[in-house]
């Protein structure tokens, strides 16, 4: 077993374990930390197979989108942040564990990337770099599937917004149509005040 294959299997096992922990963790903060760990493992696997562009997109886009996902979780579950800040030391072991695992994996991926030999398994397109080959593959052979995936993501975004949108009774909201169609008699009250007397 080569070093590259060993790192691949290690990344795959940690990715599967962290994906299981995303749905098994009871605390949403722990779920977000395990989701970030899963994304970094998948990015490391992309680096090992020679798809550096996909690895960077996964880290930049999806790990950045975890913040938006956490925002939706907060909106749906109504998490009390004051209570979360009070228990910072409770989350420190999980956060430190995820950080140590990420650091070890980055070192392993970097060393195996530097020491690896060109693999005949990797699909390469003559005359094209990784990004252009990926674009050519997505927008020619699999264009319809790519657009369907985009539509599914759009429906998921609309569904998440619809789930988090709720009408609160105690909140005052602006009704523009009612303001435009109001009459002066309904909004202004004229009071005749006699001289020397207050209202």
- Report pLDDT digits (tens) over 143-184: 899 899 999 999 999 988 888 777 777 777 788 888 888 887
**Structural domains of the chain, ranges and CATH numbers in brackets:** 3-184 (1.20.120)
Nearest to 31 by CA among 40, 20, 43: 20
Pure H helices in 78-187: 81-86, 88-115, 130-136, 143-164, 176-180, 184-187
**pTM value?**
0.51
Q: Is the pLDDT score of 107 beyond 90?
A: no
- Is the separation of the CB atoms in 49 and 12 below 8 Å? no
Taking the C-alpha atoms of residue 52 and residue 130, their distance in angstroms, rounded to an integer, is 7
Q: Output the pLDDT for position 78.
A: 64
């Amino acid at each position: 077993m080569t070093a590259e294959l060993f790192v691949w299997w290690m990344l795959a096992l940690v990715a599967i374990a962290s994906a299981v922990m995303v749905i098994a963790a009871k605390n949403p903060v722990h779920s977000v930390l395990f989701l970030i760990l899963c994304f970094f493992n998948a990015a490391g696997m992309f680096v090992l197979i020679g798809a550096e562009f996909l690895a960077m997109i996964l880290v930049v886009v999806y790990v950045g989108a975890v913040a938006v996902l956490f925002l939706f979780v907060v909106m749906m579950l109504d998490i009390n942040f004051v209570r979360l800040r009070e228990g910072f030391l409770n989350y420190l072991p999980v956060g430190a564990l995820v950080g140590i695992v990420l650091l070890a994996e980055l070192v392993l991926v970097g060393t195996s990337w530097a020491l690896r030999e060109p693999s005949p398994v990797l699909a390469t397109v003559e005359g094209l770099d990784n990004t252009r080959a990926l674009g050519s593959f997505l927008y020619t052979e699999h264009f319809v599937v790519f657009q369907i995936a985009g539509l599914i993501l759009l429906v998921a975004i609309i569904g998440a917004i619809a789930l988090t949108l709720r009408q609160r009774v105690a909140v005052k909201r602006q009704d523009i149509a009612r303001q435009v169609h109001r009459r002066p008699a309904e909004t202004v009250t004229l009071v005749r005040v006699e001289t020397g007397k207050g209202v």
